[in-house]
Amino acid sequence: MDILFLLIPLSVVLVLIILGGLWWAVYQGQFEDIEQEGSRILDDD
Amino acid sequence: MQAVLPDSDLFAEPEREVVQWIALDDPQEWEEFSHPHGGSQSNLWESNLVIEGMHCAACSLNVEHALKSVEGVISAEVNASSERARIIWSADSTKPSDWMRAIVRAGYRALPATDTSLFEKRRKEQRLALWRWLVAGFCMLQVMMYTMPAYISGFGDMTPDVRMLLQWAAWILTLPVMIFSCGPFFSNAWRDIKQHMISMDFPVSLGIIITFGVSTAATFQPSGWWGQQTYFDSLTMFVFFLLTGRWLELRLRSRTAGALDDLMRRLPDSVERQNADGSFTRIAVRRLMLGNVVRVLAGESFPADGTIVMGETQVDEALLTGESRPVLRSMGSAVIAGSHNLNSAVLVKVEQLGKSTRYAQIVALMERASVDKPRLALLADRLARPFILLVLLAAAGAAAFWWRNDPGRALMAAVAVLVVTCPCALSLATPAAMLASAGFLARRGVLVRRLQALEAFAGIDTVIFDKTGTLTSDAMHIVSTAVREGVSAERVLQTASAVAQHSMHPVSRALVAASKATMVDTVSDVKEVLGQGLSANSEYGQIRLGSAKFCGLETLPADSVQLYLVDEHGWLASFAIEEDIRPDARNAVCALQEAGIEVQVLSGDRLQAVQRVASQVGISVVSSDCTPQDKLSHLQSLQQQGRHVAMIGDGLNDGPVLASAHVSIAIGKAVPVAQAQSDFVVLSGKLILIPQMLIQARRTMLIVRQNLIWAALYNAVCVPLAVMGWLSAWIAGLGMALSSLIVILNAARLARSVEVI
């Protein structure tokens, strides 16, 4: 079970990294206009 | 007098907007919604617009294309969900009216966004709230993962070092929740303490801090008197639940604010000012100066208080005075800012501007009145103080109980009480119920501007209606027709409405609306004498349509407005015309009375008109001829008798009363300042919604009480168990989660529809 002493700290770090990703998404406004960007791909230019 | 054709026909809605845009081309107006972009030499500007009429994501791309096709527009970004556009344009090659026109051609409406800083502030607040919530939620999930093994493992399955490792991991991930996500609870509690108040945030903060402190001590020093139990999972879940409630509340509030912004947004007011050479230039109202002469077209509002120096017209002052009939204003008579020019263009000399106008005085009265608004202590906050006291007493009692038998366990028992008596359900009880109700009302077209107003609304005993625009709608209709013997009533009505077509007077419009037959223009040579009547040539010869005096008849006493038609032989027909009472007014009043509410009418109109409407809808207590100040003192005398009053109105003259009533409701197309003072806005203008709102408010408070009783019961059962030391940590945690869940599910019942009267 010694592997737990590596894996659990690693999971804590992973959570913090994911939180960093969420921070980026929130402050980039990724959650603010969910519909529009999807239809931009259908736009002609 | 020469016939005055209704000018407003020449200025149909889109055309009028074009006229208004010209005011936007004035560089002095740009600062309001734009700022220079890049260096000062480039003459580039960045402007913010609000786009109306976008229904889907693809619409925003259409607007972008329309904007980019205008020469001189460098870039355009349109956001569909916030309905905002940001465009960069060169002042050398285009002007605002050009790209405004492009948007309208694409089929949308655009208005300059003057509230950009407010919008930015709201967006920042929302992002922060979302971010706090996400941190709490994500950490909660992971903390539960670390706590789970301890719950499911059997005795001896986990070595102490692995157990400790998991606890440390849970502690680390609880830190961001404590430091960042709980910030608002701590700062609110701190603010309340400084003001010597206690709100629900105080027990919440205390609970969070104590739980975290005990769990931290247990993690790093398991041998201490505080025991080895950690509560990180219950703690993060508790915070996550609370933040979910707050996040929903913020979203609802900003949606409501957004809907209200839409109602208040408009083009800058502009008016035609007379130049020295007699020509007219359209300028923004804020650039008017005392002594200027302005031309106010039919359909426009007067920009300032002043005197008419040329022409005459009829003026609608209903929003300022409550007077339902248009009043005639001719040369030398005074007009007031905010009233509406109905018939024809007049020249007005500006005498009062800005703060000294009647309009601004009413607004100032309203602002003073809003200070007097009775503030009810909220049920949940009233409970916070006794709750804290009881918890502290219970903890002290537990410590005292154990001190005699087993001093080593005394402190531990006290801590267990503090942890177990979670204010979770107590603090969720009110917001969960109010949010569910506000959502329910929003789907029916009622905006709830202040959630707590639901609590105040449940306790009212008197409802006061304004008359003009609230009990009645703006239109009028014909109630009865009498004609000379041997004449076809239908033909007479047709002729009369053919004449009436040439007038903008509401009475004429009622006549036009009444004649359902296709309009044949059988009349010629129509002349209008403003405020009195019309004359014309028709199949009956020379006829006159108008007041008794105008037609040369004797005035007979009558309940309603009488309109007469005479030909060369004398009386031909008479039409009785009344204000349109909203179709659901009677039912609404009746339902309120059945619910035990006293209903009154408070109006600035004449006694006769008020009484007629009041008796038709079944209201017996009537006050008429009230100025805004009179209305306010009437309300205040009621409040001094200990009544809880809800005011329902729409006009500016209702503003001060709305601001000061326990609960205020603005109806339909109420003036923006009146809406700004209201707790509720009934967008559809359906009065029957008001008794429904009352039922909903009462149901809400019923659910809130149930929730509070449940929370109290949960604590009442848990505390003795904790004192005896029979409550293990995981049962306490489960209890907390369950009690919160029950409170939320109970509140969700409010979102369901009920049988309405």
The answer for residues whose C-beta is within 8 angstroms of residue B142's C-beta and 6 or more apart is A11, A12, A15, B173
- Chain A and chain B share a number of CB contacts under 8 A equal to 67
Closest CA to B299 of B349, B340, B348: B340
| More confident: B510 or B672 | B510
- Pair B662, B456: CB distance under 8 Å: yes
- Alpha-carbon torsion B666, B667, B668, B669, what sign? negative
The answer for residues whose C-beta is within 8 angstroms of residue B281's C-beta and 6 or more apart is B272, B273, B275
The mean pLDDT value for B705-728 works out to 82
**Cβ contacts (< 8 Å) between B131 and chain A: which residues?**
22-23, 26-27
Contact yes or no for A19 and B135 at CB 8 A:
yes
Query: For B331-378, what is each residue's pLDDT tens digit?
Result: 888 888 888 888 788 899 998 887 788 888 877 777 777 777 666 667
User: How far is the alpha carbon of A30 from chain B, nearest alpha carbon, in Å?
Assistant: 10
| CA neighbours closer than 13 Å in the CB half-sphere of residue B705 | 8
Nearest Cβ partner for A33 among B56, B81, B135 = B81
The predicted pLDDT at position B2 comes to 37
Q: How confident is the model at residue A9 (pLDDT cuts 50, 70, 90)?
A: very high
Task: Determine the residue of chain B that is closest to A29 in CA distance.
Answer: B127
The mean pLDDT value for B9-26 works out to 58
| More confident: B385 or B243 | B243
Nearest Cβ partner for A35 among B80, B139, B176 = B80
- Pair B189, B202: CB distance under 8 Å: yes
Is residue B3's pLDDT more than 60?
A: no
Q: What is the mean pLDDT of chain B?
A: 82
Is residue B654's pLDDT more than 90?
A: no
Backbone angles phi, psi at B127, to 5 degrees: -65, -40
Q: Does B58 touch chain A (CB under 8 A)?
A: yes
**Cβ contacts (< 8 Å) between B123 and chain A: which residues?**
32
Is residue B585's pLDDT more than 80?
A: yes
Q: How confident is the model at residue B174 (pLDDT cuts 50, 70, 90)?
A: very high
Is residue B299's pLDDT more than 80?
A: no
User: How far is the alpha carbon of B137 from chain A, nearest alpha carbon, in Å?
Assistant: 11
The mean pLDDT value for B486-511 works out to 80
Question: Structure tokens of B369?
Answer: 């009145």
Task: Determine the residue of chain A that is closest to B173 in CA distance.
Answer: A12
d(CA B500, CA B237): 70
The predicted pLDDT at position B519 comes to 58
Query: For B278-288, what is each residue's pLDDT tens digit?
Result: 888 888 777 88
d(CA B225, CA B205): 23
Following CA atoms B618, B633, B459, B451 in sequence, which dihedral angle do they give, to the nearest 10 degrees? 110
Q: How confident is the model at residue B641 (pLDDT cuts 50, 70, 90)?
A: very high
Is residue A1's pLDDT more than 80?
A: no
The predicted pLDDT at position B16 comes to 54
Q: How confident is the model at residue B123 (pLDDT cuts 50, 70, 90)?
A: confident
Q: What is the mean pLDDT of chain A?
A: 85
The predicted pLDDT at position B472 comes to 86
- Pair B284, B268: CB distance under 8 Å: yes
Query: For B454-474, what is each residue's pLDDT tens digit?
Result: 889 999 999 999 888 888 887
Mutate to test the interface with B, among A2, A6, A15 (most CBs of B within 10 A): A15
Q: How confident is the model at residue B7 (pLDDT cuts 50, 70, 90)?
A: very low
Nearest Cβ partner for A12 among B57, B134, B172 = B172
Domain limits, chain B: 122-260+385-433+706-751, 446-472+582-699, 475-580
Q: How confident is the model at residue A19 (pLDDT cuts 50, 70, 90)?
A: very high
- Pair B622, B466: CB distance under 8 Å: no
Task: State the CATH class of domain B446-472+582-699.
Answer: alpha beta
ipTM of the complex: 0.91
Is residue B11's pLDDT more than 50?
A: no
The answer for residues whose C-beta is within 8 angstroms of residue B503's C-beta and 6 or more apart is B6, B343, B528, B534
Question: Structure tokens of B28?
Answer: 């002095």
| More confident: B531 or B627 | B627
Mutate to test the interface with B, among A1, A4, A6, A10 (most CBs of B within 10 A): A4
Q: How confident is the model at residue B12 (pLDDT cuts 50, 70, 90)?
A: very low
- Pair B67, B99: CB distance under 8 Å: yes
Query: For B408-447, what is each residue's pLDDT tens digit?
Result: 677 777 777 776 776 767 777 888 888 888 888 888 888 8
| More confident: B643 or B23 | B643
The predicted pLDDT at position B8 comes to 36
Closest CA to B737 of B330, B167, B374, B239: B239
Is residue A35's pLDDT more than 80?
A: no
**Cβ contacts (< 8 Å) between A40 and chain B: which residues?**
61
**Cβ contacts (< 8 Å) between B166 and chain A: which residues?**
8
Is residue B750's pLDDT more than 90?
A: no
d(CA B349, CA B274): 10
Query: For B139-151, what is each residue's pLDDT tens digit?
Result: 999 999 998 888 8
* % of chain B beyond a pLDDT of 90: 15
The predicted pLDDT at position B14 comes to 45
The predicted pLDDT at position B312 comes to 86
Question: Structure tokens of B170?
Answer: 């849970």
The answer for residues whose C-beta is within 8 angstroms of residue B392's C-beta and 6 or more apart is none
Angle CA(B264)–CA(B268)–CA(B271) in degrees, nearest 5? Answer: 130
Kindly indicate whether the domain formed by B475-580 is annotated with CATH number 3.40.1110.10: yes
**Cβ contacts (< 8 Å) between B127 and chain A: which residues?**
26-27, 29
